[in-house]
Amino acid sequence: MSSTAGGSTPAITAEGLTKLYKSRSGEVRALDGLDLVVDEGTVLALLGPNGAGKTTTVRILATLLRPDAGRATVLGYDVVSDAQRLRRVIGLSGQYAAVDENLTGRENLWMFGRLYQVNSPTARARADELLDQFDLSDAGDRPVKTYSGGMRRRLDLASALIGHPRLLFLDEPTTGLDPRSRIGMWEVIRSLVRQGSTLLLTTQYLEEADALANTIAVVDAGKIIARGTADELKSSVGGERVEVVVHDPAQLGAALRLVSDCCLTEATVDEHTRRLTAPAAGGAQQLVAVIRALDDAGIVIDDVGLRRPTLDDVFLSLTGHAAEEREAEAAASEPVAAGRTA
C-alpha cells in the first residue's frame, strides 16, 4: 500500500485480508482478499449488508481475530505481531453496548479506565469528563439497566475513549436506535472528528455514511467493491430518476409504455407495488412530460416524483442484489483457524 499524498504513513493499511469460517453449508470466506487504506485524521465508512465482512474486518484490525492470510497495520503496528502495543492506542465500540448493566455509568467508565491500566484517581477524573462530554452526568450514578438504548450507546462510546485512543473503531454505532437517538449519536461522532480523531465506522446506512464519512468503501462478499464519497457512489449508478406509482394494476402496461417513451429508455416495473422507475436525464422537465402523458391517457397515479439513487440502487448496481439484511452466516460459524479474542 502506498503512503498518503503528503508522504505520511496511513493510519490503516490492509493487504489481502482473508478470513475463513466453517458453517453447516461448508466453508465461508468472511473476507476474501480485502485491501484497505485509511488516511490519518479522516473518517472512512465501511458500508455493506449483514454478512458482507464489515465486522470481521474491524475485529481483525482491532486485534480480536487473526487473519488467515494477508497483513494489516494500524498506526504503524502490525495487528498480529504488535497486538499488545496496538491495543493501548485504539478504541473499539462494537455493535452491542459492552457495559455492565448492574454498575452505574460512572462505575463502568472507571472500570474501563482500570482495564486500560489508568490509575484509579485518573480513571475517576476521566469518567467525570466523559460523562459530561456525552451528556450523561445526571445519570452517572444510576445503574445502566435504567438507561435508554441511546444512553447505553453513548456510554459504550465513552468507554472506548477512556484511554484517549488515537484511532477509534465504531461497528454499526446506531443500529437499533430510534431516529432521535441516531441523530444524537451522529453529533457525538462529529465532535470527535472535529477534535482530529481518525475513525473507521461500519454501517448499513448510506445516509449515515454520507453524514459522517470523508470516504465510503462498499464491502460485499468479503471484498471492497467500490470506494468514493457518497455523491460519487450515487453518481456511479446514474442521476435522478422518475418514479410513478399507478393506482390501477390494469393500467400498468399502458403506463409502462408512456413512461418509457417520455424517458427515452425502458422503465422498470415492480408489479407488487405498482411502481415504475426510469432514468430522468431531463430532470424536472422530464417529470412534467411524464405527468402530462399519464394525465392525457387517463391513467390515475397514487404518487409521482424525482429521486436520487438510494442505498438499494447502489447495491443493486454494484452487486446485483439489494441492500436488505441477509443471513449473517459468519456470526453462527466456527473459524477454520482459531481466532484470538482480547
Mean pLDDT over 142-154 rounds to 93
HSE-CB of 235 using CA atoms within 13 angstroms: 6
Q: Is residue 312 pLDDT above 80, yes or no?
A: no
| Residues with Cβ within 8 Å of residue 34, at least 6 apart in sequence | 14, 16, 17, 18, 53, 57, 70, 219, 222, 223, 224
Q: Is residue 334 pLDDT above 50, yes or no?
A: no
Phi, psi dihedral angles at 99 (to 5 degrees): -120, 155
pTM: 0.76
pLDDT tens for each residue of 37-90: 999 999 999 988 788 899 999 999 999 999 999 999 999 999 999 999 999 999
**pLDDT given at position 49:** 79
Q: Which of 264, 243, 246 is nearest to 255 (CA)?
A: 246
Phi, psi dihedral angles at 220 (to 5 degrees): -150, 135
Q: Which of 232, 173, 168 is nearest to 11 (CA)?
A: 168
What is the crossing angle of helices 105-115 and 120-133, to 10°? 130
pLDDT tens for each residue of 247-306: 999 999 999 999 999 999 899 898 999 999 998 888 889 999 999 999 999 999 999 999
Query: Widest CA span of the chain, in angstroms?
Result: 77
Q: Which of 19, 48, 38, 110 is nearest to 76 (CA)?
A: 38
Pairs from 313-318 (Cβ < 8 Å, separation ≥ 24): 313/234, 313/237, 313/238, 314/206, 314/218, 314/226, 314/233, 314/234, 314/236, 314/237, 315/49, 315/218, 315/220, 316/237, 317/236, 317/237, 317/238, 318/218, 318/220, 318/225, 318/226, 318/236, 318/237
Mean pLDDT over 210-238 rounds to 87
pLDDT tens for each residue of 185-204: 898 889 888 888 899 999 87
Greater pLDDT, 319 or 266: 266
Local structure of residue 8 (DSSP, 8 states): P
Tell whether domain 12-89+166-235+323-335 is in CATH 3.40.50.720.
no
Residue 68 CB neighbours (<10 A): 18
Would you place residue 144 in the very low, low, confident or very high pLDDT band (cuts 50, 70, 90)? very high
CATH number of this structure's domain 240-307: 3.30.70.100
Q: What is the CA radius of gyration of the chain?
A: 24
Domain ranges of the chain: 12-89+166-235+323-335, 240-307
Q: Is residue 123 pLDDT above 70, yes or no?
A: yes
Q: Is residue 6 pLDDT above 60, yes or no?
A: no
Mean pLDDT of the chain: 86
Distance CA 328, CA 72 (A): 24
**pLDDT given at position 26:** 80
Q: Is residue 308 pLDDT above 70, yes or no?
A: yes
**pLDDT given at position 323:** 53
Phi, psi dihedral angles at 217 (to 5 degrees): -115, 120
